[in-house]
């Protein structure tokens, strides 16, 4: 770089997995369309969730399993922003951190990948006792309730590792369940045997969306990221995150959602289960949002005060009024489930996990 070159180098944090790097590179490509003179440098690191593969996520018993190391690098200034799968991010970020952008959502549904032996089957037509691999309590609880003829076993590792375990002819798995978004981003859509509709399996909060985390008052980076905001995805995900935050959920209990935004009406369905799927509480709420036709009002960016955050999401180009409505809808849905004893079901699930360690 010559002394007359005014380009800045933006340092981007990412996990080392192939999918994480692909997602990070995608965000950088999007940014280059708006900032063609900027240079971006990817800095990779492994997280605790990447390193501990012999335990299910809830049994590790810690928050931020896939984000802590990246957030420490962000806090120290080693990186300027971090790209995450939004479903991996807690609903409350560390002090001083914010989601500076949420990109347009990929397919949020769960996908079934069958072994070659059962390539023409669906979950409902698999033989009794067939083993399904998943590391998600949310998926295993719904399978236990809806597909009691199947057996669920934990499977960990990145996408490549889990697919390799499925393809092992001597392995136990008839099928595994993964997020459709990851398979599609890896261009492995041909591996999808079945997509599970929300009526069959609700998905994880934020699933299918990419979130970009940065320092809350880093105005330069917040401004850089602002064009990436997708209004519909942001409003849906703020609502979903608000629902989960109200329940106090995470990896330690089976909690799931689905949401839609049509004609400015935001609809969200949320549910909690016992680990065996037998106890089940579900509800749906909807609200009409005020969404300006010009995609939102610019947020106030006074350098003397921090921006308003909505479940740790900075407003970007999205209307503050719309975000407030989405956040309130998620909170109301959470309260509705709490009134139906959702917290008792979740506490029972957590106790079962603790006692199984």
- The catalytic residues are 88
CB–CB of 162/53 below 8 Å? no
CB–CB of 208/233 below 8 Å? no
Per-residue tokens: 56: 């299910």
CA distances from 314 to 45, 95, 229, 323 (A): 25, 13, 10, 10
Tokens 């070159």: give the residue: 5
State how beta strands 131-133 and 39-45 pair.
Answer: unpaired
Q: How far apart are CA 138 and CA 63, in angstroms?
A: 17
CA distances from 131 to 97, 123, 195, 242 (A): 40, 10, 18, 34
SS3 314: coil
Q: How many CB atoms lie within 10 A of CB 285?
A: 21
Tokens 């949320």: give the residue: 270
């Amino acid at each position: 770089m010559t002394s007359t070159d005014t380009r800045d180098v933006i340092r981007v944090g990412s996990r080392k997995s192939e999918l994480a790097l692909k997602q990070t590179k995608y965000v950088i490509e999007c940014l280059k369309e708006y900032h063609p003179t900027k240079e971006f440098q990817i800095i990779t690191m492994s997280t605790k969730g990447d390193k501990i593969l012999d335990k299910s996520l809830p049994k590790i018993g810690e928050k931020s399993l896939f984000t802590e190391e990246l957030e420490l690098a962000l806090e120290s200034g080693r990186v300027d922003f971090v790209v995450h799968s939004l479903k991996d991010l807690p609903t409350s970020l560390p002090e001083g951190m914010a989601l500076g952008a949420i990109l347009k959502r990929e397919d949020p549904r769960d996908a079934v990948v069958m072994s070659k032996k059962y390539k023409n089957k669906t979950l409902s037509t698999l033989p009794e006792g067939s083993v399904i691999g998943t590391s998600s309590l949310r998926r295993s609880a719904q399978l236990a309730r809806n597909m009691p003829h199947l057996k669920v076993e934990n499977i960990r590792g990145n996408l490549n590792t889990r697919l390799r375990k499925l393809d092992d002819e001597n392995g136990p798995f008839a099928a595994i369940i993964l997020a459709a978004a990851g398979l599609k981003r890896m261009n492995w859509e041909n591996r999808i045997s079945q997509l599970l509709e929300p009526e069959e399996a609700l998905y994880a909060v934020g699933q299918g969306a990419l979130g970009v985390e940065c320092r809350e008052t880093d105005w330069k980076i917040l401004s850089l990221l602002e064009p990436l905001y997708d209004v519909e995805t942001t409003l849906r995900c703020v609502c979903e995150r608000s629902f989960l935050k109200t329940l106090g959920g995470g990896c330690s209990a089976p909690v799931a959602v689905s949401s839609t935004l049509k004609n400015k009406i935001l609809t969200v369905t949320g549910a909690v289960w016992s680990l065996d799927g037998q106890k089940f509480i579900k509800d749906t709420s909807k609200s009409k949002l005020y969404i300006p036709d010009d995609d939102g009002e610019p947020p106030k960016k006074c350098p003397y005060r921090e921006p308003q955050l909505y479940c740790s999401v900075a407003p970007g180009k999205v209307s503050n009024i719309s975000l407030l409505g989405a956040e309130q809808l998620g909170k109301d849905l959470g309260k509705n489930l709490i009134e139906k004893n959702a917290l008792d079901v979740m506490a029972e699930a957590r106790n079962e996990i603790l006692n199984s360690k």
